[in-house]
Structure 1
């Protein structure tokens, strides 16, 4: 059964970080009633909860040689006026159906009252039917997200990113690094929306692939920075293969850039000595191209 309210993550309005509650203001008793009320409203807005919002604002019909189908634009954003980045993907009804089936295999009791709009045998391309289905699918995503266990499971990020990940990694394997980079950046934007409710390791494969693209595009500084960003999660959650490969890239690129890398090199040596036989010596690129096959 869907929970009525998802747990919230605090959101702070950057323009209000210096606003204090009446208890925090030195000599607060000297403020006027109007000032105290304004201060209280500002504090409430500053600490309001953050949730994911789903919109399906548009759809389009794709016609192929022997068939045609409808794709729906799924827009994901965080609640509040401070999220200016609206990230979107396109999904078919069949994608929603597979997603729902996977959820039911694991969360049948929790989703007892969450119903996917039924499949239609006729009229699928009628403008009225498509418009009605857009609203129904939007409501469906909101209901799914309201279930805590589903919200924290890997099924939601897979639904929202896996197709794009596979496309990006296919481009990377084909040596089309610029196109892969663009696709991966969009994937990362989506994953960052999900991070308050997902493990930080969610973005490790994407950051690793981005670092590989930057390096092959002769952008060493971006490759170094991106690989550095992935390290905290792999250190904390024990992703040894990624950790060794990231450290190895950082040492090589760091030397190229003239950055101090002695500590990184020592960490890599200690890791390989401690995990001898368990840590692969493959490069980050070799590791990345094996993913999302």
Structure 2
């Protein structure tokens, strides 16, 4: 919420700007002033994450029965209309909460995970009540600065899908792996303002490999180029050499200029002097999240 002085300043700015645009002798109405103030406040509003659990489903197999909560993650603002969702069980929330308590026990004194019921766990009333409580729980967690900046936060939303996607890539099921990785990347990009800029690098690397093995060379080249800046900037040299090598190969096949990439790769290899094993990007990807 803006401080009183800043609100007054915003109103004054709006009045002056609009007065220059209106005929001499005219003045802004109260309604116009309110509309201008709302517009200024909208522009200055910080981006936040929003969480919604719009639906649930009961899963039952030979050994167990449980409820899956579909968690939708969005950034505030009209610029983000993508509704990316992941399914989580109550046990996932429970493990997540206790990991956070190990690091942030004092900060989470007022953030309580909804308790598990001993009976009537599958009644519509109980499921609906817990769905809303878990939605509120995620909003309260996000409001705690140290939590939303913690690496535990993105792991809760992406790790199961990330592991499954990499398992599919290891099995050579690139189409299925690609679908999972695209969901993971969308979530990571939503989380980036509060996380390390290197967060999506493993996902981008895996997408590059999937597209290349599916002979979608343009998409592979685009994903590799997207991964390269954070890899360079933050010194992820085990990715850098393998990524450059693949980009050079793709560039030749696509008829792209690769002399600069080739030179960068040569300098990097010379600097390594055999200290780093020459693993391909695919070899690096299949060893992630085992």
Give TM-score, length-normalised by structure 1.
0.88
Matched, 1:74 2:94: no
Displacement, 1:112? Answer: 1.3
Displacement, 1:200? Answer: 1.4
CA distance in 1, matches of 2:241, 2:16: 49
Displacement, 1:242? Answer: 0.8
Q: CA RMSD in A?
A: 2.1
Matched, 1:280 2:277: yes
Which segments of 5 or more consecutive residues in structure 2 lack a partner in the other structure?
A: 2-12
Question: Contact conserved, 1:251 with 1:265, CA < 8 A, in 2?
Answer: yes
Displacement, 1:49? Answer: 1.6
* Greater relative contact order (CA < 8 Å, ≥ 6 in sequence): 1
CA distance in 2, matches of 1:233, 1:254: 20
More displaced stretch, 127-136 vs 32-41: 32-41
Give the 3 Å change call, closer, same or farther, for CA 284–32 of structure 1 in structure 2: farther
Matched, 1:196 2:193: yes
Displacement, 1:245? Answer: 1.0
Give the 3 Å change call, closer, same or farther, for CA 26–255 of structure 1 in structure 2: farther
More displaced stretch, 74-83 vs 37-46: 37-46
CA distance in 1, matches of 2:20, 2:56: 57
Aligned match of 2:221 = 224
**How many corresponding residue pairs?**
275
Name the SS for the 1:227 alignment partner. Answer: helix
CA distance in 1, matches of 2:92, 2:157: 10
Give the 3 Å change call, closer, same or farther, for CA 25–241 of structure 1 in structure 2: farther
Matched, 1:121 2:118: yes
Residue of structure 2 aligned with 1:260, choices 257, 261, 268:
257
Aligned match of 1:83 = 80
Give the 3 Å change call, closer, same or farther, for CA 248–43 of structure 1 in structure 2: same
- How big is each residue's C-alpha offset from its partner over 1:206-254, in whole Å with a ceiling of 9 and x where there is no partner? 0000000000000111101100001111111111111111111100000
More displaced stretch, 23-32 vs 232-241: 23-32
Which segments of 5 or more consecutive residues in structure 1 lack a partner in the other structure?
A: 6-19
More displaced stretch, 47-56 vs 36-45: 36-45
Residue of structure 2 aligned with 1:156, choices 153, 156, 164:
153
CA distance in 1, matches of 2:100, 2:81: 30
Residue of structure 2 aligned with 1:33, choices 28, 49, 63:
28
Larger Rg: 2
Residue of structure 2 aligned with 1:101, choices 98, 103, 115:
98
